[in-house]
Amino acid sequence: MGRPRQFDEQTLLDAAIELFWARGFDTTSVEDVSRATGIGNGSLYGAYGNKRGLFLAAFQRYCDQRARFVREVIESAPGSARSAVRTLCQAVIDDCAAHPDRRGCLMINSIAHLGTRIPEVAAIGERTTAAMETGVANRLRTPMATAGPVDESLLSALSANIIMTTQGLIQLSRMGVTSSRLNEIADVSCEILPPAWADRQP
């Protein structure tokens, strides 16, 4: 058995997320994380092997948090399916506003820069996107069933479109698009849901 880690791993990975998110993979070193956390280089190399291993652990934690964010927001949103989707979009817009440096999404950023160099990044991103889509689909399935048989193909496509919209809102925010414009886009995007069931109250 390996030696137990002598540090709080979640706190360490949260600090690593901030550094990799703000600076990028190439310009962040294990030494940077060591200085930011006070955890010795030896402990970090012993736990994660190298910078790639440390990054992948931090990246997985970030992606798990994002998937949980989507699931919790849309599952807890009251009202109709359309209202729940709009609530999700608003939560994403508000989250973007909470990061004035407009860093975008670490998952999207990393897939773009590292997806071919570090295949695990693309694989984690794919699993995370699927988890987000499943969270949306689970929220939409019951109201869809009120109008008749559930069309799983349509449900999957709608859920993917909604997640694509939320990720697009993050990218637009990173480019400096105003919150009012993001809200206009979110309003229009919600119109893809069929009114036959999307506007029914539970």
Give the DSSP letter string of 38-100: ---HHHHHHHHSSHHHHHHHHHHHHHHHHHHHHHHHHHH--S-HHHHHHHHHHHHHHHHHT-T
As for how many domains the chain has, the answer is: 1
Query: pLDDT > 70: what percent of the chain?
Result: 97
Instruction: Tell me the three state secondary structure of residue 119.
Output: helix
Q: Is pLDDT at 180 greater than 90 in this prediction? A: yes
Range of the domain at 100: 59-198
Residue 19 lies in a domain: no
Residue 38 lies in a domain: no
Mean pLDDT, rounded, of the chain: 94
Q: Is pLDDT at 1 greater than 50 in this prediction? A: no
Residue 166 lies in a domain: yes
Total-model pTM: 0.93
- How far is residue 101's CA from residue 99's CA, in Å, rounded to a whole number? 5
Q: Is pLDDT at 2 greater than 50 in this prediction? A: no
Q: Is pLDDT at 125 greater than 50 in this prediction? A: yes
pLDDT value of residue 102:
64
Residue 190 lies in a domain: yes
Query: pLDDT > 90: what percent of the chain?
Result: 90
pLDDT value of residue 169:
96
C-alpha separations of 46 from 37, 50, 51 in Å: 16, 8, 11
pLDDT per residue as tens digits for the range 64-93: 999 999 999 999 999 999 999 999 999 999
As separate numbers, helices (DSSP H) first and strands (DSSP E) second, the chain gives 10, 0
When pLDDT is cut at 50, 70 and 90, the band that residue 101 belongs to is confident
Residue 45 lies in a domain: no
Residue 43 lies in a domain: no
Residue 82 lies in a domain: yes
- How far is residue 40's CA from residue 125's CA, in Å, rounded to a whole number? 30
Residue 113 lies in a domain: yes
Count Cα neighbours of 10 within 13 Å in the Cβ-side half-sphere: 2
